[in-house]
Amino acid sequence: MIKKQLLTLPSIFFLLILLIFFYLLIIDRNPSEIPSALLNKNVPKFETTSLLTEKKFISSDIFRGEIKLVNFFATWCKPCRDEHNYIKLFDNQEALEVIGVNYKDNPQKAIKWLRELGNPYSNIAVDKKGRIAIDWGVYGIPETFIVNSKGIIKYRHAGPITKKIYKKIIFIINEIE
Amino acid sequence: MVPILGNITLWLSLFFAIFQFFISKKNKKIKSIKIGIFGLLACSIISFFLLMFLHVVSDFSVLNVFQNSHTTKPLLYKISGVWGNHEGSMLLWILVLTIFNYFIYKLYNNNNSILILKTLEIQAFITIGFILFTILTSNPFETMSPIQNEGLGFNPILQDPALAIHPPLLYIGYVGFSAAFSIGVATLNLENNNNIPWHRYMKPFVIAAWTFLTIGIAFGSIWAYYELGWGGWWFWDPVENASFMPWLLGTALLHSLLVVEKKKSLQSWVILLSILAFLLSVLGTFLVRSGILTSVHTFALDPSRGIYILIFTAILGSYSLILFGLKSKKYFNTNYFSFFSKEGSILINNILMVIVCSTVFLGTIYPLLIEAFTNNKISVGTPYYNSTIVPIMIPAILIMGIGPILSWGKVDIFRTLKKIFPNILLTGVITLLVFLYYQSYSFIGIVGIILAFWIIFNNMTLLFRKKENLSSGMLIAHLGIGLLILGITGSSVWQIEKIIRMKVNNEIKIEKYNIAFKEINQIKGPNYIALQGSFFVYDEKKKIIAKLKPENRYYPVTNNFTTETSIHTNLLGDLYIVLGEGNIDEGWVVRIYYNPLVAWIWIGALTIFLGGIVSMNYNLKQIRRLS
């Protein structure tokens, strides 16, 4: 004969699971935030050309000194357009340099796009074949990374920057300083 | 004007649902309940078609239409766009709920009034919950100003015929379980000495839900197969799991209902399953629409919606499960039965289905559990599911082959063996032939082929012999499962994948096909432009057998790119080509798959659906005889 207490097990189990869901709903979390395998590691080395100046873009020369915000973008990516205003806000931030990586894009279109929307990037690396993005572990643009003054990746955000993410990134930058 | 009408009908349906709830609670006359039932049905039909009208005429004063539609969209997708978004899909959900509500009411007669009234009360409560949810957090009739001239457009990968009918079929499945849930909970509320055959009323709903869930999942799968261009048809995405879990419990429920019918055993178990199957359906909705998990299906990330559904699930779940804890004891009995009997095989099938369901459930929520307790993020992928579920499914399918042959109660083992011996022999011979043909010796492949033909032969012989007094709907559905396993085994064990860069006039060989890349052209569709590759497929004798034209589409309205695969299909296998990125100088990245036996997955699913319909028809006739 089955004990009567056993019959209450489904309800207890069910409520426990709901409690966990409830906790996850109310805490401040972002399900699309994925930890990067490169976190606290050096930025991958790469060489390419600069979009606007067409000079050489050598990563080891760029990633030192100031804190860098690295933003992967393309003109064909709609969320990139949406987050562009936040990228411009980062440009106003002191002691922070914003680096763009133009991902699988047409350079002419990208230049036109920046002329139209404004250019917040101090330097833009051309990633025509998506090779740099692979090294950085990017799986969909836009993606944004923070690199400290020693060239070490401290933060990664996948997806467009929203108000909440913007505040978080500012907080992290201040913390690194 | 129309949006206001829509809002009015939505509120009216809430009113009728509340009316139905209180009237059936007080056991008033059936005439007054009728008002509630028909009012609710009429209002939900009207509000649903009003939204469809708004989408068809592209009324961009409505936020929902503005966000999901566009004037250049083909008519079919203007219509399917109604349920291709969160708010509209809730209206569809409510519509299906009220239709099932009506069918429950149709079962009413003087002998079962206590049960049906209680069922209608619970069904009304569920309906109230979903209508309130729609009105409070996701009203599709919300208007906006200033009025725009053009909408934002509809996600192009959803503009597809299979995906147009996938949600309605799936919702019939999910919501069908609500009827089983309501009947289960109503049964718990019955006094001890009622002799109402509640399981007979539950059965047609379970069959309907299960049948439509099967075909709904199959359509989603077909869509993923040719639209996503990933070469597969199942990815263990949380949302796929959310539909698979009720399906598994539904399978267990369907079979245990037979035991209740014949042996009066497993009654409380059936009630528990009916409760859990629907709770899992609702929980699936929660997982998808709260944004708590990321998945390819994620609708809208709005935490207030998540909190609402969670609270609603908590009320439904704790009420039903606590009631189960308190009242199910009276449905217990101590009829033990033998292992070698039909009921024994069904019981084992039940246990295995529940284990598979728990395994899938654990895999789906494991990342959430880990995050809640340790703050780490992990993801659970295909290897987990393959290595846990396949071994549990193997015995389940072996038993499934023999279950229908076994008789209720005591079984004469010798006679049964004599019956299945020719099938064992046939299975062995065919398996040998398959391997001589394919010349490939994967262990899982052997097991899969044996299982598939084991099921196919057993059910074929029973179908044609037809003297065993077995339901032909069941045999057809079982046969469908056999065909399904054949397709699953073939496509997952012997898939060939080639990813290469091809220039125009290049050739490649895959399996027995020679494929030549002939040309690439820009073409224009109704609301997209596309780059279309042209591939000629030759057989071994250099005879042309197909021209495949995969596309890369660009939808300017939503600024999306999609890939359209091109597939040459026959019963032995699919040749599947996806055009990737590239240019004229360096060539294009082309992904070519040879997917053996995939067509049998779809044939199998259709056969199961057919079996379900036959069986539903039969059961409805029986119910009519009952009243």
- The ipTM of this complex is 0.78
Is residue A55 assigned to a domain?
yes
Is residue A17 assigned to a domain?
no
Q: Note the helical H segments in B328-381.
A: 342-374
Mean pLDDT, chain A, rounded, equals 82
Residues B558 and B448 in one domain: no
Residue pair B454/B427 in contact by the 8 Å Cβ criterion: yes
Pairing type for strands B587-596 and B496-502 reads: antiparallel
- Asked if B559's CB is within 8 angstroms of A20's CB, the reply is no
Is residue B295 assigned to a domain?
yes
How far, in Å, are A101, A131, B216, B241, B390 from residue B244 at the CA level?
Answer: 41, 38, 11, 5, 15
Q: How many CB pairs under 8 A join A and B?
A: 74
Rounded average pLDDT over B316-344: 84
Residue A100: strand, helix, or coil: strand
- Asked if B559's CB is within 8 angstroms of A31's CB, the reply is no
Which chain A residues have a beta carbon less than 8 Å from that of B335?
Answer: none
Q: How far is B172 from chain A (nearest CA, A)?
A: 25
Smallest Cβ–Cβ distance between B310 and the set A22, A29, A31 belongs to A22
Compute the CA torsion angle A169, A173, A175, A177 (nearest 10 deg). Answer: 180
* Cα B340 to Cα B350: distance, rounded to the nearest angstrom: 15
- Name the pLDDT band for A136 (thresholds 50, 70, 90): confident
Q: Judging by beta carbons within 10 Å of its beta carbon (0-12, 13-18, 19+), is residue A40 exposed, middle or buried?
A: exposed
Nearest Cα to Cα of residue A13 among B13, B231, B354? B354
Rounded average pLDDT over A155-165: 81
* Cα B286 to Cα B305: distance, rounded to the nearest angstrom: 8
Rounded average pLDDT over B141-166: 83
Mean pLDDT, chain B, rounded, equals 88
Is residue A60 assigned to a domain?
yes
Backbone angles phi, psi at B471, to 5 degrees: -70, 125
- Any idea which residue has 């042209």 for tokens? B534
Residues B135 and B166 in one domain: no
How far, in Å, are A117, A148, B114, B626 from residue B111 at the CA level?
Answer: 73, 77, 8, 10
Is residue A49 assigned to a domain?
yes
Which chain A residues have a beta carbon less than 8 Å from that of B292?
Answer: 21, 24-25, 31
**Regarding predicted confidence, which is higher, B9 or A88?**
B9
Pairing type for strands B507-510 and B496-502 reads: unpaired
- Asked if B322's CB is within 8 angstroms of A8's CB, the reply is yes
Weakest mean pLDDT among B65-79, B122-136, B142-156:
B142-156
A8 interfacial to chain B (CB closer than 8 Å): yes
b/e per residue A120-140 (b: at least 16 CB within 10 A): bbebbbbbeebebbeebbbee
B292 interfacial to chain A (CB closer than 8 Å): yes
- Asked if B318's CB is within 8 angstroms of A14's CB, the reply is yes
Is residue B607 assigned to a domain?
no
Work out how many domains chain A is built from and give that number: 1
Q: What per-residue confidence (pLDDT) applies to A53?
A: 84
Q: How far is B313 from chain A (nearest CA, A)?
A: 8
| Interface residue of B330, B362, B368 to substitute, partner A, most A CBs within 10 Å | B368
Q: What is the pLDDT of residues A44-66, one digit of tens each?
A: 888 888 888 888 888 888 887 78
B212, two tokens: 């439509």
Residues B198 and B79 in one domain: no
Residues B220 and B241 in one domain: yes
Is residue B604 assigned to a domain?
no
Q: What per-residue confidence (pLDDT) applies to B484?
A: 96
Give the residue on A whose Cα is nearest the Cα of B333.
A1
Which percentage of chain A shows pLDDT scores above 90?
7
Is residue A24 assigned to a domain?
no
- Name the pLDDT band for B627 (thresholds 50, 70, 90): low
**Regarding predicted confidence, which is higher, B113 or B213?**
B213
Work out how many domains chain B is built from and give that number: 4
Rounded average pLDDT over B442-451: 88
Q: How far is A81 from chain B (nearest CA, A)?
A: 11
Which chain B residues have a beta carbon less than 8 Å from that of A29?
Answer: 371
Give the residue on B whose Cα is nearest the Cα of A104.
B581
Residue type, B44: S
pLDDT at B49 over 90: yes
Is residue B518 assigned to a domain?
yes
- Name the pLDDT band for A29 (thresholds 50, 70, 90): low
Q: What per-residue confidence (pLDDT) applies to B334?
A: 64
Is residue A68 assigned to a domain?
yes
Residues B44 and B88 in one domain: yes
pLDDT at A110 over 70: yes
Is residue B603 assigned to a domain?
no
Residues B152 and B169 in one domain: no
Domain of A169, CATH number, reads: 3.40.30.10
| Interface residue of A6, A17, A21 to substitute, partner B, most B CBs within 10 Å | A21
pLDDT at B332 over 90: no
Q: What is the pLDDT of residues B10-33, one digit of tens each?
A: 999 999 999 999 998 887 678 889
The last residue of one of the domains, among B137, B157, B177, is B157
- Name the pLDDT band for B303 (thresholds 50, 70, 90): low
Q: What per-residue confidence (pLDDT) applies to B159?
A: 83
pTM to 2 decimals?
0.83
Is residue A171 assigned to a domain?
yes
Smallest Cβ–Cβ distance between A31 and the set B291, B313, B581 belongs to B291
- Name the pLDDT band for B141 (thresholds 50, 70, 90): very high
DSSP string, B185-224: HHHHHS-TT----HHHHHHHHHHHHHHHHHHHHHHHHHHH
Is residue B601 assigned to a domain?
no
Q: What per-residue confidence (pLDDT) applies to B27?
A: 73
Residue type, A126: V
Q: What is the pLDDT of residues B595-610, one digit of tens each?
A: 999 999 999 999 999 9
Weakest mean pLDDT among B209-218, B310-319, B450-459, B553-562:
B553-562
Is residue B608 assigned to a domain?
no
Residues B27 and B129 in one domain: yes
- Asked if A76's CB is within 8 angstroms of B313's CB, the reply is no
Which chain B residues have a beta carbon less than 8 Å from that of A31?
Answer: 291-294
- Asked if B321's CB is within 8 angstroms of A21's CB, the reply is no
Residues B320 and B181 in one domain: yes
**Regarding predicted confidence, which is higher, B598 or B435?**
B598
B372 interfacial to chain A (CB closer than 8 Å): yes
Which chain A residues have a beta carbon less than 8 Å from that of B317?
Answer: 11, 14-15, 18
B321 interfacial to chain A (CB closer than 8 Å): yes
The last residue of one of the domains, among B157, B184, B201, is B157
Q: What per-residue confidence (pLDDT) applies to B335?
A: 67
Q: What per-residue confidence (pLDDT) applies to B413?
A: 80
Q: What per-residue confidence (pLDDT) applies to B22?
A: 93
B310 interfacial to chain A (CB closer than 8 Å): yes
Q: What is the pLDDT of residues B461-474, one digit of tens each?
A: 888 876 667 788 99
Q: What is the pLDDT of residues B532-572, one digit of tens each?
A: 999 999 988 889 999 999 998 888 777 677 888 999 999 99
Residue pair B82/B67 in contact by the 8 Å Cβ criterion: no
Give residue B168's domain range. 160-403
- Name the pLDDT band for A32 (thresholds 50, 70, 90): low
- Asked if A7's CB is within 8 angstroms of B368's CB, the reply is no
Residues B107 and B176 in one domain: no
pLDDT at B127 over 90: yes
Q: What's B281-299 look like in SS3?
A: HHHHHHHHHCCCCCCCCCC
Residue pair B41/B99 in contact by the 8 Å Cβ criterion: yes
B328, two tokens: 């199910």
Restricting to B residues 339-368, those with a Cβ less than 8 Å away from any Cβ of A are: 365, 368
- Asked if B325's CB is within 8 angstroms of A25's CB, the reply is no
Restricting to A residues 97-116, those with a Cβ less than 8 Å away from any Cβ of B are: 104
Q: How far is B372 from chain A (nearest CA, A)?
A: 7
- Name the pLDDT band for A153 (thresholds 50, 70, 90): confident
Which chain B residues have a beta carbon less than 8 Å from that of A20?
Answer: 365, 368-369, 372
Residues B424 and B320 in one domain: no
- Asked if B325's CB is within 8 angstroms of A20's CB, the reply is no
pLDDT at A2 over 60: no
| DSSP state letter for B382 | H
Is residue B541 assigned to a domain?
yes
Residues B337 and B441 in one domain: no
B296 interfacial to chain A (CB closer than 8 Å): no
Which chain B residues have a beta carbon less than 8 Å from that of A4?
Answer: 329
Which chain A residues have a beta carbon less than 8 Å from that of B586?
Answer: none
pLDDT at A83 over 60: yes
Residues B576 and B625 in one domain: no
B424, two tokens: 């064992």
Is residue A8 assigned to a domain?
no
pLDDT at B202 over 90: yes
